[in-house]
Amino acid sequence: MSTIQDGVVHRQSPGRPRTTSRAMDRNILRACREDPRRTSTDIQVSVTSPNEPVPSRKTIRRRLQVAGLHRRRPVKNPFVSLKNRKALFEWAKQHFSWGPREYAPQYQCPTVKRGGGSVMVWGCSSDTSMGQLKRIVEIMDQYVYEDILENTMRPWGHVANWFRRRRVDLLEWPSQSPDLNLIEHMWEKLERRLRGVRASNANKKFAQLEAAWKSIPMTVV
């Protein structure tokens, strides 16, 4: 099918007509570039106009693909607060001279983050005994942490006093940084012991965690 206007023949392209205008296409691309985490549903809501038909989510995905904007799974990385980022930066400047000897593979070990699941726990250990495993029922805020230090960590506080009395310098280690702490290895051991073990509720899960925690031999520590 074709039409003649001012002596020029305009031929209609084959196939179904586009359901979105060029302005709508630009709005779709703009919405995606402003926030790449938006889904096709989010974009559909943001570009809806009373003067144009609502584009389907499939149409929105096609417009993005034509523009070279393909779906990708976001990269996950641990959250580091601004305060700890500054502390990490200062620590890095102070230890800038560290080389391959300090970062040798035998001094490194993969770590496993705990918390954020159905049961959140806090634990500690030393070279003489496995400390208490405490369940965190509410949000882990400063008040809960203070209670842990006051009622759970008091015996282990003598260790810090022992170092201070003997004037032993301890290496400062910023929070949320690659950890040399023994506890990270204990979390990994705990996870391995309970791998594949299921629990019907949070109370049973904590009981399993506590039993597995106490069963870790001191030879492992």
Q: Please say whether the beta carbons of 63 and 70 come within 8 A.
A: no
pTM of the model: 0.37
What does the alpha-carbon distance between residue 106 and residue 24 come to, in Å, rounded to a whole number? 57
Tens digits of per-residue pLDDT, 70-104?
888 777 777 778 888 898 899 889 888 888 887 77
Give me the chain's average pLDDT, please: 76
- Cα–Cα distances in angstroms (integers) from residue 68 to residues 29, 32, 61, 62, 155, in the given order: 10, 12, 11, 10, 60
Spacing of C-alpha 155 from chain mean position? 33
CATH topology assigned to domain 2-66: Arc Repressor Mutant, subunit A (1.10.10)
Give 123's pLDDT tier (boundaries 50, 70, 90): confident
Q: Please say whether the beta carbons of 40 and 57 come within 8 A.
A: yes
Enumerate the CATH 1.10.10 domain ranges in the chain, comma separated.
2-66
* SS3 state at 9: strand
Q: Give me the pLDDT at residue 6, please.
A: 52
Give 4's pLDDT tier (boundaries 50, 70, 90): low
Q: Give me the pLDDT at residue 204, please.
A: 85
